[in-house]
Amino acid sequence: MAIYSTTEQQPPPTDTGGFITWFRENLFSSWSNSFVTLLLLYITLPWIWDLLSWTVFDANWIGTTRADCVKEGACWVFIEQRFGQLIYGFYPQHLRWRVDIVFALLALSIFFLVLPQVSSTIKKYLGIFVLVIFPCISFVLLHGGVFGVTEVETHRWGGLMLTLVLSFVGILLALPLGILLAFGRRSKLPVVSSLSIVYIEFWRAVPLITVLFMASVMLPLFVGGDINLDKLVRALLGIIMFQAAYIAEVIRGGLQAMPKGQYEAADALALTYWKSMGLIILPQALKITIPSLVNTFIALFKDTSLVLIIGLFDLLAIGQAALSDPQWLGYSSEAYVFIGFVFWAFCFAMSRYSIYLEKQLHTGR
Amino acid sequence: MKSNASVRRWWYDERIRGVIFQVIAISAVGFVIYSAVANALNNLEARGITTGFGFLGDQAGFSIIQTLIDYNETYTFGRTFVVGLLNTLLVSALGIVIATFLGFFIGIGRLSNNWLLSKFCATYIEIFRNLPLLLQIYFWYFAVLRTLPTPRESLSLGDSIFINLRGIYFPKAIPEAGSGWFIFAVFVAIFLAWCVYKWAVNRQRITGQTFPVLRVSLALLIVLPSIEILLVGVPFHFEYPVLRGFNFSGGLTVIPELAALLVALSIYTAAFIAEVVRSGILAVDSGQSEAAHALGLSQRRTLKLVVIPQAMRVIIPPLTSQYLNLTKNSSLATAIGYPDLVAVFMGTTLNQTGQAIEVITMTMAVYLVITLTTSILMNIYNRRMALVER
């Protein structure tokens, strides 16, 4: 029988929780870690302080002209003076209430669509409203020309309004086309699948700038007769054809992720191809792919800034135009920081929502 | 009765419906293409624009600020195509290298246990992924590079590298008579390093002993050319940029357009690559790193020997798609005047000749070829690397 000798009982660790322990474990756990922490603090703290003082503490918020920017920091007076143009573009000032109504409707519907407490039947009706009724209302309000509403031509649209119109209409019309292409790619008919594959691979291979150039320069040549296509319509056509290819790939991923049992069950119920796709497969596939669709929307939202190249005045282009005003030379940083913040706020919110959706759908299944 | 039944059966036969549907599809697409082409030819004739690729032989008549090959106004439009293509390839290659290094560093830093480093990398990713690339390019070009000093007051590093409004100037290495031997020595060193690597891998497989391959290869790369220099003499001399009047002459110039485009593209793509790397490393089962720790491997060796080789399988396909995105995004050079393919060929040449269809088709064809080649190579790689499951 072995004889065991007891060792000294060690005192308990001094702390297992609390502030100091967190510091020790996460920031200073080893020599290299401590070095990295100190280096990062040395680099980032002065930089953050400079940024804050430029943006907030030393900035000029009040005034009307360039002479009011006396402090060293950012001259937000410039942005305040140009705010109307940045948001509404060249829309006539007395008619801007129409754009406000469209913005408010969009914001409210998206708010209620996103809120988790809202029941899913209400969300379904809200979805149909956003996809079908809202575009008609916003066309009447924004463009006018029908029902006795004053017409505002599209070359007066600009700024944030134009960016939202381009992205929203782009996704709205690219979605059905993308769904058709996704089905076409998976089809057993060789002609349909090859046409879909050629379309998808072509539009995914070319940069968006060449597509916009093609739409604005070549499209008038292909359309016969005296049809003069609006510049905005040309850009929208290019964007829609381009986005449809990316949406087709996203939906194809969703269709592939569906268990084969669904397809087989639909066949067992003797449903025709279109009925089984429309009633059984597509609703489930769309539900799975909504996070990826939101990511596609974020990419489109950022890419609409490229219409600057073909002469449309989206948010970034209006900012560039504002910078060439001789009264406000030299304030390029303010313009870019503001425009960047607007884009960042939209895209960050959407990406957070898509992460939230992904978590919901995972636990839900 | 009987004839009715057989007609109904013919209508509902799946194969016949399939054939009819495909015939309708082909004729619809064919009709659209035919009418588009007919309209285009009519419209072009009405505007007096000729078709055909003959314009490629005409004299260009405009200059380009950066050309990797010989070019001036008397060269042809076809030459401008090649110049633009080379500029696009240059910016894409440099951008891919920088973005990969930066992206890997930030992606791995995002997963570090140092809270500050992890949050710093997360902030970087969240900021630069959510800003449009065009905005970033404009920011770097107008808000940063335009505020650099004039050539007379340039920032200089050791009197050989100059940074100013007109660009970044480096000393250029000009090969002299004996440079052939130098290059030969470098190639011999690389070949010997590869042989050492093969031998070391084989020896490790048989005996289990490791060999410091990296250090020996570096030593070879330094020693062999040094021996060559000792024997024959330095085969290069440096041409330094010198301020003459208002500008620098001599040396290697990086124009501000290239610098701004490169910085913006690399920073933007690095944020996406960081996410790809992070998801790849997280995709490796945690049991692997736990087993490596149980065997006593340090964190660094676990990463290097166990986690990253397995993560590469998950990382490489989305990584190539990010490389393709970078190549396509380099077309934004039009916005700041960097003479890449789109700016030179689809911008200036199209304006000068008016041959929209041919020019746009050629440009799109280039991007198509690049993308499709990369996709095919990626498919081959994927098939070879696919896990063979039972």
Specify the pLDDT at position A363: 55
The tokens for B45 are 């004739």
- In sequence order, what are the residues at sequence separation of 6 or more whose Cβ sits closer than 8 angstroms to the Cβ of residue B201? none
* Cα distance between residue A113 and residue A105, in whole Å: 12
More confident residue, B385 or B161: B161
List CB contacts (< 8 A) between A37 and chain B. 114, 116-117
User: Helix, strand or coil for residue A15?
Assistant: coil
| Position B2 pLDDT exceeds 70 | no
Specify the pLDDT at position A268: 94
B149-189 per-position pLDDT tens digit: 887 777 887 777 888 888 888 888 777 777 777 888 888 88
List CB contacts (< 8 A) between B26 and chain A. 191
Rounded alpha-carbon distances, angstroms, from residue B26 to A38, B22, B323 = 67, 6, 35
Specify the pLDDT at position B388: 58
Specify the pLDDT at position B356: 84
| CA A316 to chain CA centroid, nearest Å | 15
Mean residue pLDDT across chain A:
87
* Single-letter amino acid code for the residue at A301: F
* Cα distance between residue A310 and residue A220, in whole Å: 14
With CA atoms as reference, the chain A residue closest to B22 would be A191
List CB contacts (< 8 A) between B36 and chain A. 222
Specify the pLDDT at position A181: 94
Q: CB A336 to CB B36 under 8 A?
A: no
List CB contacts (< 8 A) between A29 and chain B. 113-114
Q: Does A3 touch chain B (CB under 8 A)?
A: no
With CA atoms as reference, the chain A residue closest to B358 would be A218
List CB contacts (< 8 A) between B371 and chain A. 204-205
Average pLDDT for B42-58: 81
| Position B269 pLDDT exceeds 90 | yes
B197-207 per-position pLDDT tens digit: 999 989 988 98
B334-373 per-position pLDDT tens digit: 989 899 999 999 888 888 888 888 889 999 999 999 988 9
With CA atoms as reference, the chain B residue closest to A31 would be B114
Write out the H or E segment, with its range, that includes residue B242.
strand B242-244
Q: What is the DSSP code string of A49-93?
A: HHHHIIIIIT-B-S-SSGGG--SSS-BHHHHHHTHHHHHHBT--G
| Position B390 pLDDT exceeds 60 | no
Weakly modelled stretches of chain A, pLDDT under 50: 364-365
Q: CB B115 to CB A195 under 8 A?
A: no
Q: Is the dihedral of CA B94, B97, B103, B109 positive or negative?
A: negative
Q: Is B102:B270 a contact under the CB 8 Å cutoff?
A: yes
Selecting from B117, B126, B335 the residue whose C-beta is nearest the C-beta of A40 gives B117
Q: Does A344 touch chain B (CB under 8 A)?
A: yes
Q: CB A213 to CB B36 under 8 A?
A: no
Q: CB B131 to CB A347 under 8 A?
A: yes
Specify the pLDDT at position B4: 57
Q: Is A236:A303 a contact under the CB 8 Å cutoff?
A: no
Residues 274-313 of A with CB under 8 A from B: 298, 302-303, 305-306, 308-309
| pLDDT category of residue B271 using cuts at 50, 70 and 90 | very high
User: Helix, strand or coil for residue B331?
Assistant: helix
Give A41→chain B minimum CA distance, Å.
8
| pLDDT category of residue B288 using cuts at 50, 70 and 90 | very high
Specify the pLDDT at position A365: 45
A and B: number of Cβ contacts within 8 A: 142
A309-333 per-position pLDDT tens digit: 888 999 999 998 888 888 888 788 8
Q: CB B131 to CB A209 under 8 A?
A: no
